Amino acid sequence: MKTDSGVSFKLVISFASLCLFLPFSTLAQSPSASPHSKSGLLQPFTYRDVKLAGGPMGVQAKEARDFYLNLSEDNLLHGFRKRAGLPTPGNPMGGWYDPEGFAGAHPFGQYVSALARMFANTGDSRYKEKVARLVHGFHETLAADGYFYSSEKVHKEWPNYLYDKNCIGMRDAFNLTGNKEALVVLKKMTDWAVTNLPRRRDEWYTLPENLYSCHALTGDSRYLQMAKEYDYSKEFYDPFANGGNAFTPKLHAYSHVNTLMSAAKTYEVTGDEKYFKALENAWTFLTTTQMYASGGWGPGERFVTPGQGKFAESIEKSDSHFETPCGAYANVNLDRYMLRFTGSPKYGDNMERVLLNGMLATLPMQPDGKTFYYSDYRSGTQKKYFRDLWPCCSGTFAQITADYPLDIYFHNENGIYVNLFANSTVQWEHRKQAVTLEQVTDFPETDTTTLTIRMRKPDRFTLNVRVPAWTSGAVTVKINSKIVKVENSPGSFLKIERSWSDGDKVQVTLPMAPHYEAIAPESPNVRALLYGPMLLVALTDKPVSLTENDARINVVKGSNKLPAFHTHDDKLTFLPIHKVKDERYTTYFTIGAGSGG
């Protein structure tokens, strides 16, 4: 809901675990004037600095690494080689990837990009060697003028989209694996693109982000010029910067969240405050007028006009509520930029929401190219793969999972920020001393994380831990098994500043409780159930309609780490959506005093 002043509201309806119904509360979010900096109040880590070690994110990232490492290079290059008149060992990939498919070889650059990121993270030379073979094989297929498409069809229909993705692939191959041939390929493709790309047609929206980074990498002024030619200010960034909501049902949802990354990069490069204002307002409108409880958005890949009940209608009308790997990739990238610019933990909260209930709730990639594309929030539905093989989401699945190491920690000159709770280690240098932080946790199945510090000699720095807005009840902090009092509140970073020594252990417990969220302010009775950050779905093949009394939730802590969740009369059982496999489930419930249970 948007008012004339551009202030948005989100209704949050809560049930405490003791089954007390709490009345509606409104959270107003002011869209401006927070401290921020284009160089970042927080700094990111590199792929090399952070290692995942199991847990839901670590397991999914490892599965993805194994999957993309095993893709056949001959198959990936088949269409390019055929067009170039070269021998074509291997087989066509099928689906969207075929030269005459929906967008021939469109994720090729994304796969190369992800493999380069995987090498940067793991140091495993197999990824670097695969990148080198793919770059070389692709190079051999380039025409003399730099034309690079696998077919005339894809050149005509998706010229910018393909240049964009291949740019990312060659940029990351050079930047993250040191492959010099990738730079040659990038230059040749650009020789063709500068003259021939039809500006701002098809899906071009992230081009400025990549063109600015290609300029920084090469110093070639053509990238800078093109970045300006593709600027989306007039139609999209300016309305947000002026306090308006430019998310309209006419626009393709994923690419119009993705294009905010171009605004973020432009802000980072130019420092023009207009882009920051646009980002801040767009993020607020996205999260308060477009977002399901999962962190997903864009039913049928379109935005929804707020305030007209259309969001609640979308639940049964659509079976394609969120283009998940692509949308989550855009969302997490936006959150990461904003977290860096502002240091505000609300961006970490949002990142956690969409990673846990979006990406971690997907089905794994299949060797034949079956890909999880849409999250489905209809009543009694099941998770399923997309109808076509190798769609766009097979490209972003590779990239977002390869980027998990970038999402967990941030730092500044004063210390370290723990943004996500995931089994991992991070290394950084504090005042010329190498420091390692190891995080061990069963989150989100339990509410506790343990952080162990490794350093040669004691030194002072601040350990900041995100206290999510969902935190319910008192946060407990133990240092070396002793409870210490640390000031904190939900929706902040708690700060522990002291002299740390090798082996110091910090245990933080962030209590979770069941709470309901209304789908939209105008549909207060259509609600999803959450426990901490986890979206809980009802295991049923039917719509769920409950009275306020029936909707009370019992949390049963048994021998499993994850508690069991039931309505207090035991008629309905709930499971976090990221734990659902092939069970039928219902995500949104109608809850009202007058409806039967």
Residue 23 amino acid letter = P
Nearer Cβ to Zn ion, position 57 or 393?
Answer: 393
Q: Classify 417 as helix, strand or coil.
A: strand
Q: Which of 77, 400 has the CB closer to Zn ion? A: 400
Between 332 and 393, CB nearer to Zn ion: 393
Q: State the nearest-atom distance from the C-beta of 401 to Zn ion, in Å.
A: 14
* Residues of span 371-400 touching Zn ion by CB under 5 A: 392-393
Helix 345-357 vs helix 324-342: crossing angle, to nearest 10: 160
Site for Zn ion in 485-544 (CB under 5 A): none
What's the one-letter identity of residue 142? Answer: L
Q: Which residues pair with 478 in a beta bridge?
A: 483, 507
Least distance between Zn ion and beta carbon 60 (Å): 17
The least distance separating Zn ion from the CB of residue 252, rounded to whole angstroms, comes to 11
Roughly what angle, to the nearest 10 degrees, separates helices 180-196 and 125-141?
40
Q: Give the phi and the psi of residue 339 in degrees, each rounded to 5.
A: -60, -40
Please report how close the Cβ of residue 386 comes to Zn ion at its closest, in angstroms.
9
User: Using the 8-state DSSP alphabet, how is residue 476 labeled?
Assistant: E
Segment (H or E) for 499: strand 492-500
- CB closer to Zn ion out of 141 and 371: 371
Least Å from the CB of residue 397 to Zn ion: 9
Q: Which is nearer to Zn ion, 290 or 492 (CB)?
A: 290
C-beta of 167 vs 398, nearer to Zn ion: 398
- The answer to whether 345 and 41 are in contact (CB under 8 A) is no
C-beta of residue 579 within 8 angstroms of C-beta of residue 564: no
CB of residue 111 to Zn ion, shortest distance in Å: 14
Shortest CB 97 distance to Zn ion, Å: 13
Residue 269-308 contact track with Zn ion, rule CB under 5 A, x = bound: ----------------------------------------
Q: Which of residues 309-328 bind Zn ion (CB under 5 A)?
A: 323, 326
| DSSP-derived 3-state class of residue 282 | helix
Instruction: Decide whether 255 or 379 has the Cβ nearer to Zn ion.
Output: 255
What phi and psi values does residue 448 have, to the nearest 5 degrees?
-125, 140
Task: Tell me how far apart the alpha carbons of residues 577 and 556 are, in angstroms, rounded to a whole number.
Answer: 18
Q: Of all residues in this chain, which one has the CB nearest to Zn ion in the complex?
A: 326
> Which CB atom, from 242 or from 366, has the smaller least distance to Zn ion?
366
Which residue is it, tokens 């426990």?
531
Q: Measured from the CB atom, is 323 or 447 closer to Zn ion?
A: 323
Q: What is the DSSP letter of 528?
A: E
Residues that bind Zn ion (rule: CB under 5 A) add up to a total of 4
Closest CA to 19 of 547, 426, 419, 401: 547
For Cα atoms 106, 110, 115, give the angle at the middle one, nearest 5 degrees.
140
Task: Quote the tokens at residue 365.
Answer: 């990639």
Provide the mask over 535-574, with x wherever binding to Zn ion is found by CB under 5 A and - wherever it is not.
----------------------------------------
Site string for Zn ion, 402-431 (x = CB under 5 A): ------------------------------
CB of 95 to Zn ion, least distance (A): 13
- String marking each residue 165-184 x if it binds Zn ion according to CB under 5 A: --------------------
Query: Which residues contact residue 376 at a Cβ distance below 8 angstroms, ignoring those fewer than 6 apart?
Result: 319, 320, 321, 382, 383, 384
Min separation Cβ 313 and Zn ion, Å: 24
Q: Are the C-beta atoms of residues 179 and 122 closer than 8 Å to each other?
A: no
Residue ranges that bind Zn ion, judged by CB under 5 A? 323, 326, 392-393
